[in-house]
Amino acid sequence: MTDFKNKRVWLVGASEGIGRCLAKKLAKAGASLILSARNEDRLRSLLEEIDGQQHLILPLDATKKESIEKVWNEIQSLNAIPDIFIYNSGYYEPMSATNFDFDIIKKMLDINLYGAFSTLAKIIPAFIQNHKGHIVLVGSIAGYVGLPRSIGYGASKAGIINLAESLNCDLNKQGIRVQVVNPGFVKTRLTDKNTFDMPFIITADEAATYIFKGLCSSSFEIRFPWLFSTLLKILRFFPYRLYFFLLQGLSRNTSS
Residues 16-35 have a mean pLDDT of: 97
pLDDT band at residue 185, thresholds of 50, 70 and 90? confident
Whether residue 2 is contained in a domain is answered as no
Whether residue 174 is contained in a domain is answered as yes
Calculate the alpha carbon distances from 165 to 92, 196, 216 in Å.
Answer: 23, 31, 19
Which is nearest to 140 in space by CA: 90, 73, 82? 90
Residues 239-246 have a mean pLDDT of: 91
**CA pair distance 104, 121, nearest whole angstrom:** 25
Supply the DSSP string of 64-81, one letter for each residue.
Answer: -HHHHHHHHHHHHHTT--
Between 188 and 154, name the one with better pLDDT.
154
8 A C-beta contact, residue 38 and residue 15: yes
**pTM over the 0.85 mark:** yes
Residues 90-103 have a mean pLDDT of: 94
Residue 252 has pLDDT above 70, yes or no: no
Measured in Å, how far apart are the chain's first and last C-alpha atoms?
A: 44
Which is nearest to 21 in space by CA: 68, 81, 86? 86
Residues 14-36 have a mean pLDDT of: 97
Whether residue 38 is contained in a domain is answered as yes
Mean pLDDT over the full length of the chain: 93
8 A C-beta contact, residue 234 and residue 44: no
pLDDT band at residue 216, thresholds of 50, 70 and 90? very high
Whether residue 93 is contained in a domain is answered as yes
Residue 6 has pLDDT above 90, yes or no: no
Residues 155-163 have a mean pLDDT of: 98
How many domains, in total, are found in the chain? 1
pLDDT band at residue 3, thresholds of 50, 70 and 90? confident
The values of phi and psi at residue 134, to 5°, are: -145, 115
Whether residue 158 is contained in a domain is answered as yes
Rg (CA), the chain: 18
8 A C-beta contact, residue 105 and residue 152: yes
Residue 251 has pLDDT above 70, yes or no: no
Residues 147-158 have a mean pLDDT of: 93
**In the chain, what are the helix, strand and coil shares in percent, each to the nearest 5?**
50, 15, 35
Residues 140-167 have a mean pLDDT of: 95
Whether residue 67 is contained in a domain is answered as yes
Whether residue 19 is contained in a domain is answered as yes
The predicted pLDDT at position 256 comes to 43
Residue 1 has pLDDT above 70, yes or no: no
Calculate the alpha carbon distances from 74 to 31, 34, 59, 233, 237 in Å.
Answer: 19, 11, 11, 41, 46
The predicted pLDDT at position 84 comes to 98
The predicted pLDDT at position 215 comes to 97
Residue 254 has pLDDT above 80, yes or no: no
Give residues with Cβ within 8 angstroms of 213, minimum separation 6: none
**CA pair distance 142, 241, nearest whole angstrom:** 20
Range of the domain at 27: 8-253
pLDDT single digits (tens) 26-50: 999 999 999 999 999 999 999 999 9
Between 146 and 188, name the one with better pLDDT.
146
- Residue 53's CATH number: 3.40.50.720
Whether residue 3 is contained in a domain is answered as no
